[in-house]
Structure 1
Amino acid sequence: MVKKILIENKFEIGNKKLTILAGPCAIESEEMSLEVAHKLKEICDRLDINYIFKSSFDKANRSSIHSPRGVGLEEGLKILKKVKDEVGVPVVTDVHEPWQCEKVAEVVDILQIPAFLARQTDLLVAAAKTGKVVNVKKGQFMAPWDMKNVVTKMKEAGNENVMLCERGSSFGYNNLVVDMTGLLEMRALGYPVVFDATHAVQKPGGKGSSTGGNREFVYPLMRAALAMGIDAVFAEVHPDPDNAFSDGPNQLRLDDIEEILTNAKRIYDLVNEM
């Protein structure tokens, strides 16, 4: 039995209805954030999919010191609040340091722990103590069953509103691979599992001073994960991915997302009818 996670008194994750966490990798502007959020909300409402807007105020783990990182904490939270209030959707963003958690929790509905930081006890505890839902990405260097220790840290800090997210595992240099059985291993821990379809196709540092990726593999991997019985999909979506601040090669094009989500819902519903 998988725990159902209530999101902002709007809907539950893990309750046989597809949930999508989606938006640009990094917050680039208020205008673009609202554009993507409105479009995705419209599509998800039409398809009867739960929608959560995702974007990061800071991409703290860029390959190059010269790469753009986003708009920063203060401006980022203002934009996330604007999206939440104007579009009427829950929002999720990354936290990188314990001191950020309380401040970010004043605005967002879900705190997200980046994969590189999944074992950082102080960060996990600080996120847990906000009482917010926490989506923890499994480290590229971790086995699926290692996530039981993440769950234990969260529970002992007083928070069982946890989601576990698969985003691929390191496979040699500049490459990731997805072990689909790992989705079942994590779900057996009793918490909803999210599949990060866009980061799973990254080529970390694959372009030397930036990350590469294979956008064409996002949807095939998403299909496979849905067939395994996941609870939610994470996908980064951008109007012009090739000119995005970060992760351009693996972000989905906003113009393509309706067809992708239409088929994703068909697979999800079919699996949950079985």
Structure 2
Amino acid sequence: MVKEIKLNENVIFGNNRPFVLFAGPCAIESEERVLKLAEGIKKITDKLNIPYVFKSSYDKANRSSIDSYRGPGIEKGLNILQKVKDEFNLPVISDVHTEEQAKMAADFLDVIQIPAFLCRQTDLVTAVGKTNKIVNVKKGQFLAPWDIDQVVKKIESTGNKKILLTERGVTFGYNNLVVDMRSLPRMRKTGYPVVFDATHSVQLPGGAGDSSDGDRQYVPYLTRAAVGAGIDALFLEVHDQPEEALSDGANMVRLENLEKILKQAKAIDKLVKEDL
């Protein structure tokens, strides 16, 4: 049994409840596209009765190339996310990269995410913990599952025990990631809910030379496997036209395919948790 973390009446993580969905485009490309995707994903999650938190990044600081698109920046990006909250009554999540961003983002975000590459940055981790918001830690591609225990202790040192832990694949050779499904139950031993990021797990970091590549065809397979292993939330980056996406298009789920993936995941989740 893992700790139950309540965002609102509809979004509750852990304690063998149905999984929560984090979903949206990798980066905020425009207000129009963000609102279109938020509305489209919400229609699907409402239909399937899946708790939903909108995700998109105002700044993709960890890009392969200096020329890669990063996003609109924190001020404009947070205002766009606020419009998602206001228009669709959805909670939102985005990532922060500095202590200063953590303080500013806390006024807008319902869940603050710590990027995988920054999960061992003590000052950043504790700054996010001090906001007293729900913290979602992306486990670094360079960490073993048990290494996340020390990250948890850093956040707990701030008095914040609203922690989510995300598996997003581990470095395997050059430009490749693999997922060890054993990491999901191991990270749950911390007592905190576990999230599976199915789209970054099929990323090929730097695989296109000046940008990352990816293989979205494997997202449904990894999703089914992770839900079968037992998770508390599912993280999927979604786009209406991934080929046109300005960030991580190769591993994002096409909006028109999302409902099928979620239907399968929900059926497996129900089956797994009935026995717990």
TM-score by length of 1: 0.99
Aligned to 1:87: 88
Aligned to 1:77: 78
| CA deviations over 1:138-182 (Å, ceiling 9, x no partner) | 000000000110110011111000000000000000000000001
Q: How much does 1:260 deviate?
A: 1.0
Q: Counterpart of 2:43 in 1: which secondary structure? A: helix
Aligned to 1:189: 190
Aligned to 1:235: 236
Q: How much does 1:9 deviate?
A: 4.6
Q: Counterpart of 1:165 in 2: which secondary structure? A: strand
Q: How much does 1:71 deviate?
A: 0.8
Aligned to 1:266: 267
CA contact (8 A) 1:8 1:109 kept: no
Aligned to 1:180: 181
For 1:13 and 1:108, the matched residues in 2 are separated by 17
Are positions 1:5 and 2:2 aligned together? no
Q: Which amino acid aligns with 2:249?
A: G
Q: How much does 1:117 deviate?
A: 0.4
Q: How much does 1:259 deviate?
A: 1.1
| CA deviations over 1:199-250 (Å, ceiling 9, x no partner) | 0001000000000011001110010000001111000000111111110100
Q: How much does 1:91 deviate?
A: 0.2
Q: Which amino acid aligns with 1:11?
A: V
Aligned to 2:125: 124
Aligned to 2:169: 168
Aligned to 2:252: 251
Q: How much does 1:8 deviate?
A: 3.7
Q: CA RMSD in A?
A: 0.8
Are positions 1:115 and 2:109 aligned together? no
For 1:98 and 1:241, the matched residues in 2 are separated by 32
For 2:111 and 2:24, the matched residues in 1 are separated by 14
Q: Map residues 210-229 of structure 1 onto 2, 5 A cutoff.
A: 210-229=211-230
Q: Which amino acid aligns with 1:261?
A: L
Kindly report structure 1 stretches of 4+ aligned residues shifted beyond 2 Å. Answer: 8-11
| CA deviations over 1:245-274 (Å, ceiling 9, x no partner) | 110100000111111111111111111112
Q: How much does 1:39 deviate?
A: 1.2
Q: Counterpart of 1:223 in 2: which secondary structure? A: helix
Provide the aligned length of Structure 1 versus Structure 2. 274
Q: Counterpart of 2:246 in 1: which secondary structure? A: coil
Aligned to 2:200: 199
Q: How much does 1:36 deviate?
A: 0.8
For 2:27 and 2:138, the matched residues in 1 are separated by 17
Aligned to 1:153: 154
Percent identity, please.
57
Q: Which amino acid aligns with 2:25?
A: P
For 2:210 and 2:173, the matched residues in 1 are separated by 18
Are positions 1:139 and 2:153 aligned together? no
